[in-house]
Amino acid sequence: MNQPRRKVLITAKSLAGSPAALEILRSAGCEVDLKITPAMLAEQALIEHCRDVDALVFTMEPVTRRLIEAAKNLKVIARPAVGYDTVDAAAATERKIAITIAAGTNDQSVADFTLGLLLTATRGILDAAQACQQRKWERVTGTETWSKTLAIVGLGRIGKGVARRARGFDMRVLAVGRNPDREFAAAHGVEIVSLETALRTADFVSLHAPLTPDTRHLINERTLGWMKRGAYLINTSRGGLVDEPALVAAVRSGQLAGAAVDVLQEQGANSKSPLIGVPGIIVTPHMATFTREAIERVAISTARSIVAVLNGERPSTVVNRDIYA
């Protein structure tokens, strides 16, 4: 007897654009429904699309308790990235729904981008390039990264990638983490320190921590005050790690020389973030993972995780492992 086809709803462009990933799903007997829209789907619209699906692949839409309770057949919520803070993880776990991420697929792309933002901010590359586009010849005097001190807040896969690259710039590297990998630190000359020590010491601070209740607004008026005057802040992790008005004030006052962020608390073209348009603050549209190589790795990893869950297996990418207890 033929098995009923499992339904997979995809709102993520990264997966929709990968023929290889879609073939993995279809070959496993999945019926793929692509709902790719210019803006994220509203909660009610997403609920309606999810009522009879077995798997959801989403971008940054809030996967709420209402949605989880309405999606009676849902078995896996797949995030084609690492962060899943928009998912009601407690509600999913109660329903024994697996939450999967694409860990280990895009960390090197983000590490590359982090160093790119750091160099762009410290050397005035963006301003100089824009001036040349206007037929001007305005050189910018910047700040060297060579032999300076970088503090990495969050020594996971991405933080480690940044540390390796920074050591190539002969930088002193400090790291802050709840459970830092001390073996990695010893092997790569990374010093494990407290957050306060890192902020008071570093010339550049790069954020790579997950967004949790404990880390929300980790960078705020108080902790910005700890930073060296003239330091730079880089954020390629989550917008919620930073108190945005406090960062604007720190840059405008000269406490910080500048900042470069790839993430905002409110994302999208219509974002009202106070960071946008502030001299000294570079904002990019959450694109650190956007390399051709990483997008394909993410898509394939996500598709394989979905198939594994639907086949009753436990992929290594599941984050709420309690459902298998």
pLDDT in tens, 260-269: 999 999 988 8
Work out the average pLDDT over 163-175. Answer: 98
Handedness of CA 180, 294, 273, 229 (dihedral sign): positive
How far is the C-alpha of 47 from the C-alpha of 242, rounded, in Å?
31
pLDDT in tens, 298-309: 999 999 999 999
Coil, helix or strand for 6?
A: strand
Stronger pLDDT, 278 or 267, i.e. the higher one: 278
How far is the C-alpha of 40 from the C-alpha of 194, rounded, in Å?
38
Tell me: pLDDT of 218 over 70.
yes
Tell me: pLDDT of 2 over 70.
no
In terms of phi and psi (left: phi > 0; alpha: psi -120 to 50; beta: otherwise), the region of 170 is: left
Stronger pLDDT, 255 or 269, i.e. the higher one: 255
pLDDT in tens, 241-253: 999 999 999 999 9
| pLDDT averaged over every residue in the chain | 95
Q: What is the pLDDT of residue 5?
A: 82
CATH numbers and ranges of domains, the chain = 6-104+291-324 (3.40.50.720), 107-283 (3.40.50.720)
* Amino acid occupying residue 163: A
pLDDT in tens, 122-162: 999 999 999 999 999 999 999 999 999 999 999 999 999 99
Q: What is the pLDDT of residue 14?
A: 86
Q: What is the pLDDT of residue 1?
A: 43
4: confidence class by pLDDT, cuts 50, 70, 90: low
Work out the average pLDDT over 271-288. Answer: 96
How far CA 89 is from CA of 64, 85, 274, in Å, comes to 9, 8, 29
